[in-house]
A and B are shown apart, each in its own frame.
Chain A
Amino acid sequence: MRWGCAVPDQSSPERDAVDGAHGARERPARLPVVALVAGAILAFAVPRFVQPLNLVDVLAFPFGYYMAAQGILIGLLIVGIISARWHNRREGRDAKVS
C-alpha cells in the first residue's frame, strides 16, 4: 500500500512556475500521524474521563467539564500549531536539500 497519489508530477514546468512564489519546489505534504493520534486522543478519549476528572478542581473549574468545554478545543489548537510549525520547517528543509 503506497500513500500519496493526488499530488501532480513534481517535475512539471507549470508546477515550478507556480511554486516559484516560495523560491523552491514543495515536497508532497506527509501524513501527520502523530498530530492525528494526539487530536484523536483529545477528541475521543478525554471525554470518556470527564466524571473522574470532575473530582479535580483547576483554577476553580471542575476539571472534567472544563476539558470538555474548553480544554479539548484549546488542546486541538495547540496540536494544530505544533504540527503546522513542524511540517512547515520540515518541508522548508526538504526544499533546501532538493
Chain B
Amino acid sequence: MVRDVLALRRVTRIAFAGLALAAVLGVAGLVFLAQLGIPATLIDGGYWTLGVLVAAFIAVGAHRYRGTVGSAVVSGLAGATTVVSGAFVLALTGAIFSWGHDGLAFAIGLGAGCLLLQLVIAPRMAQAGATSLAGLFAMRFPGRLAGMTCAGVVVLAMLTLLVAELMAAGLIGARVLGLSYASATAVAAVVVLACFALRGFHGAAWANGALFPLLLIALAVPLVILSAIWYGVPLPQIAYANALWQVQGLEEMLLEQDLADPAFMRPMLTPFVALTPVNFLGIVLGLAAGAAVVPTVLGGLSPPLERSARSARSAALWTLGFVVLLLTLFPVAAAYAKLSLATLVADRTPIAELPGWVFTYGRLGLLQICERAATDVESVIAACAALPDGTGALALHDIAIDPDAVLLAMPEMTGLSGGAFGLLAVAVLAVVLTTASGPLGAAVRALTGDGRGAMLEAAASRRQYALGLALGALLVGVAAAVASRHPAGVIEVGAWALTLTAAGLFPALFAALWWRRATAAGAIAGMLAGLAVVLVYLVGTQQFPVQFYEAQEAISGSGASGDEYFVELKEAWLEAAPGEMKDIARAALDAHARSASSLWGIGNLAAALLALPAGIFALVTVSLLTRARSVSAEAEPISPQRANLGA
C-alpha cells in the first residue's frame, strides 16, 4: 500500500511537470514552424490539436489511475482546476475588462466558495465517510424521492455548466480553427464526449490537477513579461498598480477629448457602475455557495478511506490557496488589455493602421467597430462614416469587443508574440475540454443512479458503460445545441450554473452535515423551493422577458407601466407590419425588458439572494413539521465499503 502511494506520487510529479513541459515545447515547435513560413491557419490548427492531445492525455491518465487518491497538494491542484473550471478561466478576464471593478464579484465569489468548502463542507463530509453529495444524501436522506430530487437538480445545474464549458470551447475553436462559432461548438462537443469516453465514469479526479501548472504558466508568463518590460517589476500582482493609474488617467483624458461617452463608460476603478451593490453581493453569494457545492457534486472530494477532517481540510486549504493564486492574475490581464485598448484610442490610431488582432476578432464576429463587425479596413471606414456623429477619430465606445474574447486577445492586444497566444490557447482549451467531463460525468451518474454506488467502476458491465455513454452523448448533444445558440456570455451562463447548484443543493447539503433535525422531506422541499425560484427567475427573465417585466409589478411594485420607453417599444412592436420590422421591434422590446426585469432590483445573476432564503425556509419548515425518521439510519455505523459511495 505504502509502495503504491509512493509510486503514485512519483507518477504525479513526473506527469504534472512533464505535461507542462511537453505543452510548452509543443508550442515552441509550432512557433518555430511559423517562422519557417508555415501558414498561420496550420499553426493555429496545431494549437488546437495540442490542446486536444493534452485533454486526451489527462483523460487516459484519469482512467488508468481510477480509484487512486492523490496527496493533499495534488487534490488541491485538481480542486482549483475544477472550481475555477475552463469557463471561468476564459471569461473572468473579460468580465473585469468590460464591467470594470464590478466584474471582480465573480472572482470574490469563487474564492469565498473555496473557503466555505474548507470550513463547513469538506471536514464533515470526510468524517461522515462520503466523498460525494449523492453518497452523503444516500446516508443522510434515505428514500427514492430524495435521491430523484437531488439527481434532478444535479442534472439541470451540471447541464448548464456543460453549456458554459462548450461555449468556451466553441469560442476558442472558432478562433484557432477558423470555423464558425456553431461548427466549432459542435466539434468541441464531439471532443468532450470522446474525452469522457476515454476517462470513464470514475476517472481519478486528481488527474485534473496536472493542468494547473500548465494553466498557471500560460497565464503568468505573458503577464510577468509585460510587467517586467513595462514597469521593471516582474511580479504582475504588484506591477499592475501602474497600469490601473494609467487606465484611470487615459479614461479621464478620453472623456475630456470626447473620445469616450460617459453613458457607456465603465471606469476601471469606480465601483457599482455596471452592477448595483445588491447585485454585486448576490453574485458573490450565489457563486460562493455554488462553488462550495460543485466539488462534492463532481465527486472525488477527499480520500475515501481516510475519514479524517484534518486531511480533508488540508486538501481544501490547498484548493483555496491555488484558486487565490490563479484569481489574482485575472485582474492583471484585464488591466493590461484595457490599457492597450485605451492607448490605441488615445493615440488616435487611424483606422487604416489598426493592428491585425482587431480584424482577426472582427472576422469572427467578436469585435465590432462603429456598430459593425470589423472584418477589414474598408468596412470599418464605411461603418464609421455612416455614423451621424462621426468625428473621424475612433472613440472608446466605438470599439466593442466580446468580453469572452478578451483573454485570448490579450497577448496580441499587448503586442506579445504568437507563442504567448498559442500557449494560452492550448492551456485554456485543455482545461475547458477536461473540466467539461466533470459536469457531464456528474449528470450521467445522477441519471443512472450511480451516484449512490449502484455502478462502481469495478462492477460496471459493458452494457452499463454503453448506457452511460449513450446518456452522455444525449446530454452533450442537448448542451451543444443550447451553447451554439449563444444564450448569453460565458460568464453569465457559468454564474447561472453555480447559482442553480447553490439554490438547489447548498441548504440541503449544509443541513445534512450540520443539522440533526433536517429530514428527507425537508431536504426535498428545500431543493425544490430553491430550484423553483431560480428557474422561474432565469427562464422568466431570459425567455419571457416582456411577460416577466409586466408581471413583476404585482410582486415588487415596480414594473412596465411606469416605464415610458417600454410602453413606446411595445406600441412600436404592436403597430409594426408583420415581417422583418416586427421582428426587429420585438427584439428591441425583449432586450429592454430583459435588462429591466428584476424583483426588488435583483437581477438574474443575483437570483441566489431570493432562492437561498426560499430553500432554507422550506427546508427548516418542512423538517420541523415532519418527524426525523432517519435518526436510526444516522446512528448506524458506516462501513468502509459504504464510505466509497459515489467516489
Binding site for B on A (CB under 8 A): 1-9, 12-15, 17-19, 21-22, 26, 28-29, 31-32, 35-36, 39, 42-44, 47-48, 50-51, 54, 59-62, 64-66, 68-70, 72-74, 76-77, 79-81, 83-84, 87-88, 91
Encode B106-140 as 1/0 by CB contact (under 8 A) with A: 01110110111011100111011110000010011
Residues of B within 8 A of A8 (CB): 128-129, 634-638
- Closest chain B CB from A48 CB (angstroms): 6
When the two chains form their complex, are residues A84 and B271 in contact, meaning their CB atoms are under 8 A apart?
no
Q: Provide a sorted-by-A list of 22 A–B residue pairs whose CB atoms are within 8 angstroms.
A: A2-B516, A4-B516, A5-B518, A6-B124, A6-B130, A8-B638, A9-B636, A13-B637, A15-B307, A18-B307, A18-B640, A31-B120, A43-B108, A43-B284, A44-B284, A51-B271, A51-B272, A69-B96, A74-B324, A80-B114, A81-B317, A83-B119
**Is B22 interfacial (CB-CB < 8 Å)?**
no
A15 / chain B contacts, CB cutoff of 8 Å: 307, 637-638
Contact A26–B310 (Cβ < 8 Å): yes
Alpha-carbon distance between A23 and B306 when the two chains are bound, in angstroms: 12
A31 partner residues in chain B, CB cutoff 8 A: 120, 514
Binds A, one of B34-42, B238-246, B486-494, B594-602: B238-246
Known A26-B310, A47-B281, A76-B111: A7·B269 in contact at CB below 8 Å = no
In the complex, what residues of A have CB within 8 A of residue B248's CB? 62
Question: Is B646 part of the binding interface, using a Cβ–Cβ cutoff of 8 Å?
Answer: no
Is the beta-carbon distance between A35 and B119 smaller than 8 angstroms?
A: yes
Residues of A contacting B241 with CB < 8 Å?
Answer: 59-62, 66
- The residues of B that contact A77 with a CB separation of less than 8 Å are 111, 115, 320-321, 324
Given A39-B115, A62-B245, 12 new contacts (CB under 8 A): A5-B513, A6-B136, A13-B637, A26-B307, A36-B120, A47-B108, A47-B281, A50-B101, A65-B268, A73-B328, A80-B115, A84-B313
Residues of B within 8 A of A44 (CB): 281, 284-285
Does any Cβ of A come within 8 Å of B434's Cβ?
Answer: no
Q: Tell me how far the C-beta of B643 lies from the nearest C-beta in chain A, rounded to whole angstroms.
A: 7
Q: Separation in Å of the A22 CB from the closest CB of chain B? A: 6
User: What residues of chain A lie closer than 8 Å to B313, measured between beta carbons?
Assistant: 29, 84, 87-88
Encode contact with A along B527-550: 1 for CB under 8 Å, 0 otherwise: 000000000000000000000000
Contact A5 B140 (CB under 8 A): yes
**Least Cβ–Cβ distance between B480 and chain A, in angstroms:** 33
Within the assembled complex, what's the spacing in Å between the Cα atoms of A29 and B104? 32
Interface size on B, residues (CB 8 A): 74
Separation of A94 and B133 alpha carbons in the complex (Å): 28
Binding site for A on B (CB under 8 A): 96, 101, 104-105, 107-109, 111-112, 114-116, 118-120, 123-125, 127-130, 136, 139-140, 237-238, 241-242, 244-245, 248, 268-272, 277, 280-281, 284-285, 288, 305-310, 313-314, 316-317, 320-321, 324, 327-328, 331, 512-518, 634-640, 643
B129-A69 in contact (CB<8A): no
Contacts of B643 in A (CB 8 A): 18
Query: CA–CA, A84 to B117, complex, Å?
Result: 12
A54 to chain B: closest residue by CB: B269
Complex Cα spacing A35 to B114, Å: 13
Report the minimum CB–CB distance from B543 to chain A (whole Å).
31
Q: Is the CB of A28 within 8 A of B284?
A: no
- Nearest B residue to A11 via CB reads B637
Given contacts A6-B140, A26-B310, are A73 and B108 in contact (CB under 8 A)? yes
A61 contacts across to B, CB distance below 8 A:
241, 244
A87 to B308 Cα, complex, angstroms: 12
B475 to chain A, nearest CB (A): 30
Within 8 Å by CB of B124, from A28, A47, A62, lies: A28
Q: For the complex, what is the distance from the CA of A54 to the CA of B101, rounded to whole Å?
A: 12
Bound form: Cα–Cα A59–B108 in Å: 22
